[in-house]
């Protein structure tokens, strides 16, 4: 069972009110998001708020909007934001991303989205909403991202490897072009279970930079690259 409060170096995350707890996917995306100097960031499906908080730590001049459709999770994320030193730069909205005002524009949109498409439903209703979706969700998100990103703005997602091919094809239809792909592996010799995908709006298509990232050096031993990546955040590192 996940512990109720997760302590980071610069903030704490209370997660008792969230159906989906802090997980490896979220912290990897929060640490790997790549942008020179984003001023306006949107976190879609913020959950506990951990990704928004990590980005607030990494980008000290950025303003962050975080949307979460689950009422309890949105409330909990709001408390986590209020209790952080970044509270004046993060806003939470208990809504779908689709209702964000049309005048809102972002340099960077990030998401650790629901990803079980056409699979067995999760037994708990709130977990089902948090973990399951269909391809319509991604089509809507990609269309939204194109409309709301500034010229040259970026969309960055973490997805299961088997889903990433379909999402890349859909992204191209919305003029969001892949610039980088990071394959996340548990061990050096195992297949990649996750992909972090980096898309940019309206740039000429290029061959995306391919990269591998390994979490464990051995059973129960984190790799040096994992420890180095999360060192600014995890107390244990």
pLDDT digit string, tens, across residues 166-219: 999 999 999 999 999 999 999 999 999 999 999 999 987 788 999 999 999 999
* Residues 6+ positions from 78 with CB-CB distance below 8 Å: 49, 92
What residues make up the domain containing 56? 5-230
Helix 71-82, helix 50-58: angle, nearest 10: 30
Predicted local confidence at residue 18, as pLDDT: 82
Name the nearest CA neighbour of 117 among 162, 179, 181, 58. Answer: 162
Task: Answer yes or no: is 110 within a domain.
Answer: yes
Predicted local confidence at residue 134, as pLDDT: 67
Task: Answer yes or no: is 235 within a domain.
Answer: no
Question: Is the confidence at residue 49, as pLDDT, over 90?
Answer: yes
How many CB atoms are closer than 10 A to CB 5? 10
Question: Is the confidence at residue 47, as pLDDT, over 50?
Answer: yes
Q: Taking residues 11-30, what's their average pLDDT?
A: 91
The pTM score is 0.91
Which backbone phi and psi does 8 adopt, to 5 degrees?
-105, 175
Predicted local confidence at residue 234, as pLDDT: 98
What CATH number is given to the structural domain containing 226? 3.40.50.150
Are 141 and 30 within 8 A, CB to CB? Answer: no
Question: Is the confidence at residue 64, as pLDDT, over 80?
Answer: yes
Predicted local confidence at residue 2, as pLDDT: 56
Task: Answer yes or no: is 237 within a domain.
Answer: no
Q: 117 or 62: which carries more pLDDT confidence?
A: 62
Reported as a single tens digit per residue, the pLDDT across 129-174 is 444 456 788 999 999 999 999 999 999 999 999 999 999 999 999 9
Number of domains composing the chain: 1
CB-based burial label for 101 (10 Å; 0-12, 13-18, 19+):
exposed
Give the span between the Cα atoms of 51 and 91, in whole angstroms. 13
């Amino acid at each position: 069972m996940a512990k109720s409060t997760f302590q980071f170096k610069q903030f704490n995350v209370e997660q008792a009110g969230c159906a989906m707890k802090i997980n490896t996917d979220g912290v990897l995306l929060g640490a790997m998001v790549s942008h020179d100097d984003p001023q306006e960031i949107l976190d879609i499906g913020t959950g506990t708020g951990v990704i928004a908080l990590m980005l607030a730590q990494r980008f000290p001049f950025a303003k962050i909007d975080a949307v979460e459709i689950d009422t309890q999770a949105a409330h909990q994320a709001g408390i986590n934001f209020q209790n952080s030193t970044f509270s004046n730069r993060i806003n939470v909205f208990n809504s779908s991303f689709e209702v964000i005002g049309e005048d809102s524009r972002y340099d960077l949109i990030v998401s650790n989205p629901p990803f079980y498409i056409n699979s067995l439903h999760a037994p708990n209703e709130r977990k089902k909403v948090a973990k399951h979706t269909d391809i319509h969700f991604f089509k809507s998100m990609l269309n939204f991202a194109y409309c709301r990103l500034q010229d040259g703005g970026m969309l960055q997602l973490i997805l299961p490897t088997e889903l990433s091919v379909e999402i890349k094809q859909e992204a191209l239809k919305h003029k969001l072009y892949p610039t980088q792909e990071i394959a996340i592996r548990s061990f050096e010799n195992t297949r990649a279970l996750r992909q972090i995908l980096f898309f940019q709006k309206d740039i000429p298509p290029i061959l995306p930079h391919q990269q591998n990232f390994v979490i464990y050096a051995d059973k129960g031993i984190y790799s040096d690259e994992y420890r180095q990546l999360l060192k600014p955040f995890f107390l244990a590192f």
